[in-house]
Chain A
Amino acid sequence: MRIMVVDDSKTMRMIVKRTLRQAGYGDHSVEEASNGKEALEAIKASKPGLILCDWNMPEMNGLELLQTLNSEGIKVSFGFVTSEGTPEMQKIAEENGALFLISKPFTSDTFQEKLGSVLS
């Protein structure tokens, strides 16, 4: 499966990719985008199977990306990987169709738990 990692921090994109490998998902191809706007164009072009997306980003944030995907009828498994971990944000994520919200900092165990059903 093609996985897209969306985060304005190159450091965090590297950490997400590393954690995917540590969780045993290193066989999946990974592409990157640095904000929601860039991700939207890439999603339409390459049609990934899973988006791992930060929340707070310039240009278009993660929630705006998810809402745009919904409004344009683009169906893709979507999860947040974000520093936003409050119950309020988890509820917003769920209401907008996100499969999960992984709070930073995270471990490979968390990735296995949340991504297992999507990637296996």
Chain B
Amino acid sequence: MNEQMASAREWLDSAISASEEIATVALGLEGVELVGIRKEPPDEQGSAHIALVGEQNSVQIGIASNINGCQELARTLLGMEPDEEDLAEDEVADAMGEIANILAGQVKTMMAERNITVNLGIPIFINGHVEVTTEKDVAAADIQLGAIPATIIVLTNREDN
């Protein structure tokens, strides 16, 4: 069977579904709330991204939040107490990378059920705005992971390239 190409929106929908497991199992939160779909990545945020690459599909999936949000996500992932000292920048980056890794892994498994096979890359963490070039399609969604605001960002190659 030929592998199909999925659109940026389809990858985003899978990532939104996968974020429920991130929220409840990885982070121990009540759940995730979809706040809204957005047309481009947020400004000036910390974000962790990971590549998923296959024969027909090449995608970057990322999770972003503001400075406080990234710190909270990292602390929550590590199960830290409120009175513990803040994590250093590199520790936050590592934790956010791991959240992106878990998210991407869940998306990969979901897409495999549609006969879409991709390989996972290694996460990177970026401080700042992700600039989307004209060759790329972007799909993004603002979510609430418990009380923590975050954005899921999906970048794919534009289908008409």
Contact = CB atoms under 8 A, between A and B. Distances in A.
Contact of A84 (B22, B95, B105, B122): B105
Interface of B: 21-22, 25-26, 74, 77-79, 91, 94-95, 97-98, 101-102, 104-106, 108-109, 112, 117, 120-122
A32 interface: no
Interface string A1-24: 000000011111011001000000
A86 B117 CA distance: 9
B122 A58 contact: yes
B25 A105 contact: yes
Contact of B26 (A56, A84, A87, A105): A105
Contacts of A10: 91, 94
A105 B78 contact: no
Contact of A18 (B25, B79, B109): B79
A21 to B, nearest CB: 11
Interface SS of B by simple majority: helix
Contacts of B104: 83
Contacts of A12: 98
Contact of A85 (B97, B106, B117): B106
Contacts of B112: 86-88
Given A10-B91, A10-B94, A88-B112, A104 B122 contact: no
B105 A14 contact: no
A68 interface: no
26 contacts: A8-B122, A10-B94, A11-B91, A11-B97, A12-B98, A15-B98, A18-B79, A56-B120, A58-B122, A82-B105, A83-B101, A83-B104, A83-B105, A83-B106, A83-B108, A84-B105, A84-B108, A85-B109, A86-B108, A103-B105, A103-B109, A104-B102, A105-B21, A105-B26, A105-B102, A106-B25
B105 A104 contact: yes
